[in-house]
Structure 1
Amino acid sequence: MTAPIRVLVCDDQALIRTGFTTIIDAQPDLAVVGECGDGRAAVDLAGRLRPDVVVMDVRMPVLDGIEATRLLAGAGVTEPVKVLVVTTFNLDEYVYEALRAGASGFLLKDAPPGQLLNGIRTVATGAALLAPEVTRRLIGRFAARIRPVEGTPESRLAPRELEVLRLIAEGLSNSEIAANLVISQETVKTYVSRILAKLDLRDRVQAVVYAYRHGLVT
């Protein structure tokens, strides 16, 4: 049997933690390995327990969820942990900052339990939990704040891979990219995997930010 996905729940409200833990532990393919009430404790526990996914709140004492996410999954982290941010605050800037910090997904606490469970499973596979239209809206709003960096990805990617990366950055889904380029969705998936591997990126969210920072999309 496949080992269950190991989950660490971090929220400063005990009732929320208990609710999340109850929902998650009821699933045969998921298991809560720890709970905590602040970001610093989440970083410490994750280092000891090595969960597959951390369910992270944003506003917490000691260390907030954004900074904790940066320490767990941000650039330069040797062994990054996948983070799913779950918060009551539906603010674009929170979403953006969480993703910039390294989060793989973002959900609201009033989402149905099924969305939370699906989110954990999705993030655990290495995929990003953002609909294309959300990516498009967020990056469109905050692109000016993404500082460009030197270096060109043209030397690392084939022309077709560059084309796919630009379309990812524009918020297109795999099916939309396939239709745009007149290729199959399986071929698109292959290109996406190659792009992530060549650029050492974790998921599509990082690919979007990479594309904007390197001037591939304006």
Structure 2
Amino acid sequence: MERVRVAVHAKDSVTRWGIAGYLRLRPEVQVLPEHSLSNAQVVLVATEGAGLTAELRIVAQRTSACVVLITDDLRAQELPRAIDHRVVAILPRRDLTCEGLVSTVLAAFEGRSELPAMAGLAERELDMLRLFAEGWTTAEVAKKLSYSERTVKSMVQQVLTRFQLRNRTHAVAFAIRSGAI
């Protein structure tokens, strides 16, 4: 079995050493020093507060590895930027377990996304985005879902505002990358 090369990036050494110390006990994981981010297959980023996006940007500049974010502070509107910085999974710090951490690292390595992304979307909004992803027009989506075109446009606008997306295409791309559709 191939060991997954993991690096841990955290502002504080207690968090960094705690996560790395546990992972070193696991045979399926090889913990790399933080200065070896470029050699990692998965990077764990543990951060909170206003500097979250900046920390993700720093990591993205140093590696092309996928990122597992450990935080209790991510707001819905920050999710697109997190995904742009190769975040494939988000683990709430308050609910973090050692087993959950390892299973998420292995899932990330295997290319499986575990994002709560778009968790705030209603089923009708997801249906709408799926149809747009298939190339349907606003009029066709409205007819298929038995809504008026105005309702569909309103739903699109609500999704764009909630997740701070630029346009319908951006919303569809975001939904696909986050695994929502």
- Normalised TM-score (structure 1): 0.52
After the TM superposition, which residues 89-128 of structure 1 pair with which residues of structure 2 at under 5 Å, given as runs?
89-110=73-94, 111-128=96-113
Check whether the contact 2:41–2:109 (CA below 8 A) recurs between aligned residues: yes
Amino acid at match of 1:82: C
Match for residue 55 of structure 1?
A: 44
Check whether the contact 1:53–1:83 (CA below 8 A) recurs between aligned residues: yes
Match for residue 185 of structure 1?
A: none
Q: Distance in 1 between matches of 2:121 and 2:44?
A: 21
What is the CA-CA distance between 1:59 and the residue it aligns to?
A: 4.8
Runs of 4+ in 1 over 6 A off after TM superposition: 138-141
1:46 aligns with 2:40: no
Check whether the contact 1:104–1:129 (CA below 8 A) recurs between aligned residues: yes
Structure 2 gaps, min length 5: 126-157
Match for residue 82 of structure 1?
A: 66
Cα shift readout 1:7-33 (whole Å, capped 9, x = no counterpart) = 000001111111101111111101101
CA distance 1:108–1:6, shift in 2 (3 Å): same
What is the CA-CA distance between 1:207 and the residue it aligns to?
A: 6.1
CA RMSD, Structure 1 to Structure 2 (Å): 3.3
After the TM superposition, which residues 132-211 of structure 1 pair with which residues of structure 2 at under 5 Å, given as runs?
134-137=117-120, 143-144=160-161, 145-148=164-167, 169=175, 204-205=176-177
Identity score, percent: 14
With a CA cutoff of 8 Å and minimum separation of 6, indicate the structure with the bigger relative contact order. Answer: 2
What is the CA-CA distance between 1:206 and the residue it aligns to?
A: 5.0
Amino acid at match of 1:107: L
Amino acid at match of 1:66: L
Amino acid at match of 1:54: V
